[in-house]
Amino acid sequence: MDTSNSYPAPAVVLSVGGSLLNDGKPNAEMAAKLAGVMKQAGLPLAAVCGGGKQARKRAESARKKTGSEFMADMAGIKITHKNAEALRSALGPEAGAKIFKDFKPAQKAVGKQKYIVMGGTIPGITTDADSALLAEALGAKRLVNLSNTAIYDSDPRENPNAKKFDVMSYSELIALANKSDQRKAGTHFVFDMLACSLIARSRIETHFVDGRDLGQVRAAIMGEKHSGTIVRE
C-alpha cells in the first residue's frame, strides 16, 4: 500500500511546556493523557516538548562541571528529547519511528505521518522558539502553548489583581514580554522574546492555555472557545 503523502501538513503546532511532561523524570501518565487528547482531535498535529525540572537540574550540573553555557543548554536539550520520546511513544505508530531534533527532517515527514514530535534543536534558544519555528517550517497558522497559565498584565502569583487577557495583539504581547524581561533576573515570561517575534512576523495565531486542563487543550486545538489567552492581529 502506498501511504506517501496521505496526511495533510499539521495546521496546529503544540508547544508542550516541560513542566507538564517532566517533574524530575518523564511523566508517562501525562504523555498518555496528552496523546489521548491529540488523537481525539482527529487532525494531523505537530508538538514540541520542553524540558521541565529535570532539564533545569541537568543544565545546572553541566554548567558547574564545564563552566559552559553551551554545554548547559546541550544538557537541557537532551532532556527535551527524552520528553518528546515519551509523547511520541504514547502517540504510537502514527507518530513515526523517531522524534525530530531539527526542522528539515520534520518538514520531510509531512504527509508520511500524522503526528510530528520534536524536542529542542540548538543551544541558546528554548522550545517556545522551536515551536514557533516549526510552525513556520510547516506553514501552520495556529500555535497552542501548553503551560500552567494564560497571559496576565502582571504576574498573578505576585499580584492578586492581575488581569487576564482573553485576546491580545502581537505588539501587546511583545511589549509585555519586554516589560517582564526587564523586571528581575530569574523570573521569566510565559513565552520568550524570540518566540514572540517569530509568531508576530509570520502572523501565527497563538493560544495560551493551562495544559493540565485537558478540556481547554482540546478546545484550543480545535479552535473552540477556551479560558486562556489568544494572541492575534
- What residues line the site for ligand UTP (CB under 6 A)? 17-19, 50-52, 55, 59, 73, 76-77, 80, 120-127, 130, 147, 188
Instruction: Report whether 157 contacts 110 (CB < 8 A).
Output: no
Output the smallest distance, CB 193 to ligand UTP, in A: 12
Output the smallest distance, CB 104 to ligand UTP, in A: 15
- Of 7 and 231, nearer to ligand UTP (C-beta) is 231
- Of 73 and 205, nearer to ligand UTP (C-beta) is 73
- Of 53 and 111, nearer to ligand UTP (C-beta) is 53
Q: Counting beta carbons within 10 angstroms of the beta carbon of residue 32, is it exposed (0 to 12), middle (13 to 18) or buried (19 or more)? A: middle
Q: Hey, what's the cell of 222?
A: 480545535
Instruction: Report whether 165 contacts 209 (CB < 8 A).
Output: no
What residues are paired with 115 via a beta bridge?
A: 45
Q: For strand 205-210 and strand 142-147, is the pairing parallel, antiparallel, or unpaired?
A: parallel
- Of 10 and 51, nearer to ligand UTP (C-beta) is 51
Output the smallest distance, CB 101 to ligand UTP, in A: 9
Question: Helix (H, G, I), strand (E, B), or coil: what is residue 152?
Answer: strand
Output the smallest distance, CB 93 to ligand UTP, in A: 26
- Of 44 and 50, nearer to ligand UTP (C-beta) is 50
Output the smallest distance, CB 129 to ligand UTP, in A: 7
Output the smallest distance, CB 18 to ligand UTP, in A: 2
Q: CB atoms < 10 A from the CB of 119, how many?
A: 28
What residues are paired with 146 via a beta bridge?
A: 16, 209
- Of 91 and 195, nearer to ligand UTP (C-beta) is 195
Q: CB atoms < 10 A from the CB of 7, how many?
A: 18
Residue nearest to ligand UTP (CB): 50
- Separation of first and last alpha carbons in the chain: 43
